[in-house]
Structures are given as structure tokens and as C-alpha cells.
């Protein structure tokens, strides 16, 4: 059994440091060893008193993977009210958040984050690439073209889950994950049926926007895929195959999928025109975006009983 112990290390005016240590009793679990020590840096008000006003905080947690420890940064926000609330882990695509550039990727992710927060969810945007010093150019070479990074990002997701479930404002058992492009692929892999029953915790559900789909032996929690019918970066045909395989898993959860005819990759992001990239076409679709947000919200609410 895994216990999560929170200890206040230092209180200095507006900064609170909290250490979250995952201890495996009796049995040593590989997944716990990989993320054995999660250290969280929380700006004042994150843990908050009941009814505290909402406000974004920068947080960080340490992730051990393949012998390397990385402090992963994330951006935490919460709804108004007393809580506890359900929560959503938000996972970027293969190029990262591009937060410093102030471009459309960060704007698009923040648009989804605000929507979920205003609907009553605590939100945590995880910066997997930026935390590892990966610029957009480096991410394109290593993560997008190279197709690497899924395994470590799955561990980032579970460290984020442990962090959120250690907060009194978050309802335990009600944390889901939402990912975009590669981030959607991370959600798909994180929900793999092989992870069911592990003491690292479990996600309540997932939503994957236009993910790179792969064969699956089933999922332990429900997953919704939202994808464009004209997507030539992550074709919906691969996800149809994944959906068919998931439906054959005897003890698996449902994989639901909705295809937007004519929509391209990144249809939900605030672009002003269609752009052809070396990987394929990206283009906005306002109608698909609005419908996708509604479907995402209904799916997450049903999964956590909100």
C-alpha cells in the first residue's frame, strides 16, 4: 500500500514548500520507484483556505525516470468556491507549450484551461518539454520527428496525479487527463489496461484531441477521442483501429470517438488561417472547436459524477 505524506518544509511570507513522498510498504513497485519522490513547490494560496479566490500558481514536482530526476514545472489553477473539486491534467503536443513565444499553442491550451476551470475543475498544465530544456526546434527534432518521449511523459502524468490528489481542494478519484496531439497519445498510453490496479493511483477518464493512435490491449478508464476527418498528421483511420481493438478487451473500459468531417489537425486552436507544415496541415474550425469543448465537458463530468 502506498501512503502519501505531506510535510511543510518552509513558510516564508508567500511561499510554501510541500514535500510529497510516495512510500511503498512491503512490496516495491517499479512504477513507484520511477517516481519515488515528488517534491512540490507551491506559491501561496494553492492549497488555499475554503472559498479562496482563484489564481494561477506555478508548481513543480520531481519525476524519476530511467535513472534521471527532473523537476517538472506546471501551472495550477482552481475554480472559485470551497471544493473539493474534480481536476484535469492538461498535456501539450510534441512542440511543447511555446509559452515564452506567446504563440497560438499556449493561447489554445489556455483557452481550454479557462473553459474547464470555469466549469468547476481544478486545472494543471504540465510543461514536460520546457522542464527538460527542450526548445521548440529541439522538440520538433526529438519529439515530433523522432517520436520519442511517450514513456517519460506518462510518468509525468502520474506524478501530476499524485500531486493533485495530495491537495485538499481536489476530490480524490476524480482526476482526469486531457491531451492534444502527442499529449493525446500520452493520455491513451497512460490509460493502458496494464496499469490497472497499480498503487500509483488511477485516472478517472481521458480526452485525447487528434492523438497519434497505436494498438492497444484495452483501457482501464474511459477515453474520448476527438479528431478531424481530414487530419493528415494523425489520421483518424489509425484511431478507428485502436477503437476496434479496445472494444475487444474483455475487462476494458470504453473508447469513444467522434470524427469531425473536413476538420484538420489542431482544429480547436486559435489560428487565423490554414497552414501547411512539413508534418501536414493545421487549420482552425470554429464549429468543431465549440462542439468538441461541449463533448469534452460532458464526458469528464459523467466520469467524475459532477
The upper half-sphere exposure of residue 126, i.e. CA atoms within 13 Å in the direction of its Cβ, equals 34
Closest CA to 268 of 255, 240, 296, 287: 287
CATH numeric code, 66-304: 3.40.50.1820
pLDDT digits (tens, 9 = 90+) for 212-224: 999 889 999 999 9
Bigger pLDDT: 17 vs 112: 112
Secondary structure of residue 182 in the 3-state scheme: helix
Cα 2 to chain center, whole Å? 22
Mean pLDDT, the chain, as a whole number?
81
Which pLDDT does position 56 carry in this prediction? 73
How far apart are the C-alpha atoms of 46 and 15, rounded to whole Å?
10
* Confidence grade of residue 200 (pLDDT, cut at 50, 70, 90): low
Q: How confident is the model at residue 10 (pLDDT cuts 50, 70, 90)?
A: very low
The model carries a pTM of 0.82
Whole-number pLDDT of residue 3 = 29
What percent of the chain is modeled with pLDDT above 90? Answer: 58
CB 108 within 8 A of CB 270: yes
Q: Between the ranges 33-37, 143-147, 187-191, where is the mean pLDDT highest?
A: 187-191
- Write out the three cell numbers for 54: 482563484
Query: For the chain, how many residues are written?
Result: 306
Band (148; pLDDT cuts 50, 70, 90): low
Is the pLDDT confidence value at 282 over 60? yes
Q: Which of left, alpha, beta for 210 (phi over 0: left; psi -120 to 50: alpha)?
A: left
Which of 99-108, 109-118, 181-190, 218-227 shows the lowest per-residue confidence on average (mean pLDDT)? 99-108
Task: Give the per-residue pLDDT at 145.
Answer: 63
pLDDT by residue (tens digit) across 213-261? 998 899 999 999 999 999 999 999 999 999 999 999 878 899 999 999 9
**pLDDT at residue 172, as a whole number:** 94
Average pLDDT value for residue range 273-297: 96
Distance CA 44, CA 195 (A): 34
> pLDDT value at position 13?
26
C-alpha separations of 164 from 42, 60, 105, 202, 243 in Å: 12, 11, 24, 12, 29
What confidence score (pLDDT) does residue 72 get? 94
Cis peptide before 84 (omega within 30 of 0): yes
Query: What span, in angstroms and rounded, lies between the C-alpha atoms of 16 and 160?
Result: 18
- Reference 202, options 240, 239, 157; nearest CA is 157
What tens digit of pLDDT does each residue of 85-107 get? Answer: 999 999 999 988 887 655 889 99
- Report the share of the chain in percent with pLDDT over 70: 77
| Mean pLDDT value of segment 170-179 | 97
**Cβ neighbours of residue 183 closer than 8 Å, sequence gap 6 or more:** 90, 91, 92, 93, 153, 208, 209, 211
Q: How many CA atoms lie within 13 A of 154 on its CB side?
A: 19
Residue ranges of alpha helices (H) inside the chain are 30-34, 104-118, 136-139, 150-165, 182-190, 236-247, 286-304
Q: How far is residue 306's CA from residue 298's CA, in Å, rounded to a whole number?
A: 9
Domain-wise residue ranges, the chain: 66-304
Rounded to a whole number of angstroms, the distance between the first and last alpha carbons of the chain is: 28
Q: Which whole-number Å values give the CA distances from 56 to 53, 94, 187, 208, 234, in the listed order?
A: 10, 24, 23, 24, 32
- Please, which pLDDT band fits residue 55 given cuts at 50, 70 and 90? low
Amino acid at each position: 500500500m502506498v501512503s502519501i505524506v505531506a510535510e511543510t518544509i518552509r513558510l516564508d511570507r508567500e511561499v510554501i514548500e510541500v514535500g510529497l513522498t510516495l512510500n511503498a510498504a512491503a512490496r516495491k513497485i517499479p512504477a513507484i520507484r520511477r517516481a519515488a519522490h515528488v517534491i512540490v513547490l507551491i506559491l501561496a494560496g494553492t492549497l488555499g483556505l475554503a472559498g479562496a479566490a482563484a489564481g494561477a500558481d506555478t508548481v513543480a514536482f520531481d519525476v524519476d525516470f530511467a535513472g534521471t530526476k527532473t523537476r517538472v514545472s506546471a501551472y495550477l489553477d482552481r475554480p472559485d468556491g470551497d471544493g473539493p473539486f474534480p481536476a484535469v491534467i492538461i498535456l501539450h503536443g510534441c512542440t511543447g507549450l511555446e509559452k515564452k513565444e506567446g504563440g497560438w499553442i499556449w493561447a489554445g491550451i489556455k483557452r481550454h484551461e479557462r473553459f474547464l476551470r470555469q466549469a468547476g475543475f481544478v486545472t494543471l498544465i504540465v510543461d514536460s518539454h520546457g522542464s527538460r530544456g527542450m526548445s521548440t526546434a529541439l522538440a520538433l527534432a526529438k519529439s515530433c520527428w523522432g517520436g520519442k518521449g511517450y514513456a517519460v511523459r506518462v510518468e509525468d502524468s502520474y506524478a501530476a496525479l499524485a500531486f493533485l490528489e495530495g491537495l485538499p481542494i481536489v476530490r480524490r478519484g476524480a482526476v482526469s487527463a486531457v491531451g492534444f496531439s502527442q499529449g493525446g497519445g500520452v493520455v491513451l498510453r497512460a490509460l493502458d489496461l496494464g496499469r490497472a490496479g497499480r498503487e500509483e493511483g488511477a485516472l478517472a477518464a481521458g480526452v485525447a484531441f487528434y492523438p497519434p493512435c497505436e494498438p492497444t490491449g484495452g483501457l482501464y478508464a474511459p477515453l474520448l477521442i476527438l479528431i478531424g476527418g481530414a487530419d493528415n498528421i494523425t489520421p483518424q483511420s489509425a484511431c478507428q483501429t485502436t477503437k476496434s481493438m479496445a472494444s475487444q478487451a474483455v475487462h476494458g473500459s470504453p473508447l469513444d470517438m467522434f470524427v469531425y468531417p473536413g476538420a484538420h489537425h489542431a482544429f480547436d486552436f486559435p489560428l487565423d488561417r490554414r497552414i501547411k507544415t512539413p508534418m501536414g496541415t493545421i487549420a482552425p474550425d470554429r464549429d468543431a472547436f465549440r462542439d468538441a469543448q461541449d463533448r469534452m465537458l460532458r464526458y469528464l463530468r459523467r466520469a467524475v459524477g459532477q
